[in-house]
Structure 1
Amino acid sequence: MDVAGKKILIAGGAGFIGTNLAIALAGRGARLRLTTHQKAPQVEIDGAETVQADLRLPEHCARVVEGMDYVFLCAAHTSGAAVIRATPLVHVTPNVLINTLMLEAAHRAKVAKFCFISSGAAYPPTDDRPVSEGEMFDGDPHSVYYAAGWMKRYAEILCRTYAEKIAEPMATIVIRPSNVYGPYDKFDFAVSHVTAALVRRVIERHRPLEVWGTGGDVRDLIYVDDFIEGLLAAFAVDEPFLALNLCSGKGYSVRQILKQILYVDGYDDADVRYDPSRPSTIPVRLMDNSAARRLVGFEARTSLADGLRRTIAWYKAHHVGDRGRPARS
């Protein structure tokens, strides 16, 4: 799909996915509008329009989608494992409002195509077997993600409804990412996910270096540049509705991830201490990437070592107080 000259809204343009997507689309000649809420943009993009908006309000949603060709909904209320366990409903109300109001506003504005970023956490548990797209509604999400998972599922149902079940449909695509990491991620310990939190602890030379859980939890990690490449390839598919996993298809334990970060950043004498009493989420979450390979020829190309090396280099270049040593080449 040629996006040059197309008017594209990125809702959540100051966030991790939104920022990286904006950089990629700007490089392809798109005319961008980015929404922000409480967070300022992380980058300045020539020609991009920035609009402050509260997407829980219908009038704000209607204003930001006006005149747009495509909409990417990257805005979401997110947090880490401790917050999810302590307050399971924290993601429900704000995200239900954002998702439903943005879909309605985009449809009324006659947007040609709408992209919703869902989550692999919405899938039912499949133990150590990678989960495929058709299994989304085969059972409840894991108990830790029950509320947030059903919130994502409801938005997916709405996307399909707008694409297939109404008189004047709007094409939609649902992207289900695995654990995306890389530059512009959230590195605040209160809200960061495991990879970003470990990167920061290693760079700051925490001693002891505390890791929540046993270190045995397994996740599929995908570097953000690969994810954005897959996202844009999937968005170009000429189908009224599509739901697709975007993942690496490889699982890494938290111990393996930390070991690689320690090596890349040269923290050879780290005093690592695992704390099983601290909250983690689910033991194993793996995703099947065969549909993305078949439909759009997508396969993640960045190795874990290379992705972590780039992430560490970016963090050191953009955050004050780096006490780490140069990353290994």
Structure 2
Amino acid sequence: MDIETDFSTFAGKKLMVVGGAGFVGSNLVAALLDTDPREIIIVDNLLSSDISNVPDDPRVTFVFGSITDDTILKALPEDLDYVWHLSCYHGNQSSIHDPLADHENNTLTSLKLFERLKDIRSLTKVVYAAAGCAVAEKTYDDASATTEDAPVSLFHDSPYSISKLVGELYGNYYFLQHQLPVVKARFQNVFGPREILGAGRWRGTPHTVWRNVTPTFVWKSLNNETLGLDNGGQTTRDFIFVEDMARGLMCAAKHGQPGENYNLASGVETTIRELAETINDLTGNPVEMEIRPARPWDRSGCRFGSTEKSRREIGFEARTSLREGLEKTVAWTRQNRETIERCMRQHDYFMTHLTGDTPR
């Protein structure tokens, strides 16, 4: 039996996805519904997500609000089987702009959720969405694949990176002190359908709209706009397609050992220039790219994740190539242009009056 694709263990179970209306969370919920669970509870305050990502399915219960809300925590059922904790304060730039909001939505969410879950004895596994960027070596030379036991620096580029590490530390504490079965899944750069530019509420900077590099590049390329290459596009990342990520999160829940961490990565190092060139090729965008200096706060340089431990211990391996994933992402963006434009338009006032930027 293929341990990677047999997810019948979730059939008939009560599941919860915190942040389940978000980009990764909604793809995970879609994959989990295919396993025929008894119920999936989604808890999401729609801070950086859109209600259109919540499926209309009788097995889905949507709870609107933050997982830090004591009323929501108290009302959680005592017979949960699996939990995925994916909520976060989206993005490095937003966390730099408002570290306190990052603390409220990244750090406090983990602490309060774990404190509540420690009393639910039915839990088989709790999967925490950790960040590979928080442990990757800061280098602009030849990068080595970041392993799960890589040393962790005490110097970080953003509150987001710090809070993601603190979440891992709290997970370890609750595992050791209360035997909470926490597994840490370290994300690389996820991309794909359902990442909606501008989804959610205004968070103080244009990065409320312009989020991760891939959806930004796809949107601009489809509109025949220039793609800006920070640091000349020589920075590298490990891009993993969101459907692979959803499967990896399920592998972590089924096969991951409590207290352990696992990279969910493609293991392929790609420059931002290569990403931009592929997207422009897929969309037919003829506009020249713009070379820009490095972002002043960003020292992350070149990085990609090691896939050996995840392949060996939880049976996970990414299947979707970058180009194939981008083809699906471009197609989804074309099909969902109206939803994306609606989410982007809701920030026009702030983009114009508070930042001086011209709304799209």
TM-based fold match above 0.5: yes
Q: Which residue of 2 aligns with 1:110?
A: 121
How do residues 54-69 of structure 1 correspond to structure 2 at under 5 angstroms? 54-69=66-81
Q: Which residue of 2 aligns with 1:199?
A: 218
| 8 Å Cα contact 1:213/1:280 also seen in 2 | no
Q: Which residue of 2 aligns with 1:91?
A: 102
Q: What is the CA deviation profile of residues 116-155 of structure 1, one whole-angstrom value per residue up to 9, with x for unaligned ones? A: 1010121152531121111253x225x313x333322222
Structure 1 position 276 matched with structure 2 position 293: yes
Q: Secondary structure at the match of 2:261?
A: strand
- In the alignment, the residues of structure 1 paired with residue 273 and residue 165 of structure 2 have an alpha-carbon distance, to the nearest angstrom, of 31
Query: What is the Cα deviation at residue 177 of structure 1?
Result: 0.8
- In the alignment, the residues of structure 1 paired with residue 127 and residue 307 of structure 2 have an alpha-carbon distance, to the nearest angstrom, of 19
Counterpart among 10, 14, 18 of residue 3 in structure 1? 10
Compared CA separation, residues 86 and 32, structure 1 to 2 (3 A):
closer
Query: What is the Cα deviation at residue 211 of structure 1?
Result: 3.7
| 8 Å Cα contact 2:229/2:273 also seen in 1 | no
Percent identity, please: 25
How do residues 163-174 of structure 1 correspond to structure 2 at under 5 angstroms? 163-166=175-178, 169-174=179-184
Q: What is the CA deviation profile of residues 267-294 of structure 1, one whole-angstrom value per residue up to 9, with x for unaligned ones? A: 2x21211221656732112211111111
Q: Which residue of 2 aligns with 1:36?
A: 44
| 8 Å Cα contact 1:211/1:275 also seen in 2 | yes
Q: Secondary structure at the match of 1:236?
A: helix
Structure 1 position 260 matched with structure 2 position 256: no
- In the alignment, the residues of structure 1 paired with residue 340 and residue 288 of structure 2 have an alpha-carbon distance, to the nearest angstrom, of 19
Q: Which residue of 2 aligns with 1:133?
A: 148
- In the alignment, the residues of structure 1 paired with residue 258 and residue 62 of structure 2 have an alpha-carbon distance, to the nearest angstrom, of 29
Q: Which residue of 2 aligns with 1:14?
A: 21
CA RMSD of aligned residues (A): 2.3
- In the alignment, the residues of structure 1 paired with residue 339 and residue 33 of structure 2 have an alpha-carbon distance, to the nearest angstrom, of 31
Compared CA separation, residues 64 and 321, structure 1 to 2 (3 A):
closer
| 8 Å Cα contact 1:8/1:69 also seen in 2 | yes
Q: Which residue of 2 aligns with 1:222?
A: 240
Query: What is the Cα deviation at residue 109 of structure 1?
Result: 2.7
- In the alignment, the residues of structure 1 paired with residue 136 and residue 322 of structure 2 have an alpha-carbon distance, to the nearest angstrom, of 26
Greater CA drift, 191-200 or 60-69: 60-69
Query: What is the Cα deviation at residue 308 of structure 1?
Result: 0.1
Compared CA separation, residues 34 and 119, structure 1 to 2 (3 A):
same
Greater CA drift, 56-65 or 107-116: 56-65
What is the TM-score of this pair, normalised by structure 2?
Answer: 0.81
Compared CA separation, residues 62 and 9, structure 1 to 2 (3 A):
same
Query: What is the Cα deviation at residue 246 of structure 1?
Result: 0.6
Q: What is the CA deviation profile of residues 231-255 of structure 1, one whole-angstrom value per residue up to 9, with x for unaligned ones? A: 2112111633221011000111110
- In the alignment, the residues of structure 2 paired with residue 304 and residue 277 of structure 1 have an alpha-carbon distance, to the nearest angstrom, of 24
Q: Which residue of 1 aligns with 2:308?
A: 290
Compared CA separation, residues 241 and 71, structure 1 to 2 (3 A):
same
Query: What is the Cα deviation at residue 92 of structure 1?
Result: 2.5
Compared CA separation, residues 319 and 69, structure 1 to 2 (3 A):
same
| 8 Å Cα contact 1:77/1:91 also seen in 2 | yes
Query: What is the Cα deviation at residue 161 of structure 1?
Result: 2.2
Compared CA separation, residues 213 and 88, structure 1 to 2 (3 A):
farther
Question: Aligned pair count?
Answer: 315
Q: Which residue of 1 aligns with 2:157?
A: 144
Compared CA separation, residues 163 and 186, structure 1 to 2 (3 A):
same
Compared CA separation, residues 251 and 164, structure 1 to 2 (3 A):
same
- In the alignment, the residues of structure 2 paired with residue 216 and residue 246 of structure 1 have an alpha-carbon distance, to the nearest angstrom, of 23
Query: What is the Cα deviation at residue 175 of structure 1?
Result: 0.3
| 8 Å Cα contact 1:116/1:173 also seen in 2 | yes
| 8 Å Cα contact 2:157/2:297 also seen in 1 | no
Greater CA drift, 38-47 or 302-311: 38-47
Compared CA separation, residues 238 and 284, structure 1 to 2 (3 A):
closer
Q: Secondary structure at the match of 1:241?
A: coil
Counterpart among 39, 49, 64 of residue 52 in structure 1? 64
- In the alignment, the residues of structure 2 paired with residue 159 and residue 278 of structure 1 have an alpha-carbon distance, to the nearest angstrom, of 32
Q: Secondary structure at the match of 1:72?
A: strand
Query: What is the Cα deviation at residue 205 of structure 1?
Result: 1.4
Q: Which residue of 1 aligns with 2:268?
A: 250
Q: Which runs of 5+ in 1 are unaligned?
A: 324-329
What is the TM-score of this pair, normalised by structure 1?
Answer: 0.88
- In the alignment, the residues of structure 2 paired with residue 321 and residue 271 of structure 1 have an alpha-carbon distance, to the nearest angstrom, of 28
- In the alignment, the residues of structure 2 paired with residue 250 and residue 276 of structure 1 have an alpha-carbon distance, to the nearest angstrom, of 24
Compared CA separation, residues 49 and 321, structure 1 to 2 (3 A):
closer
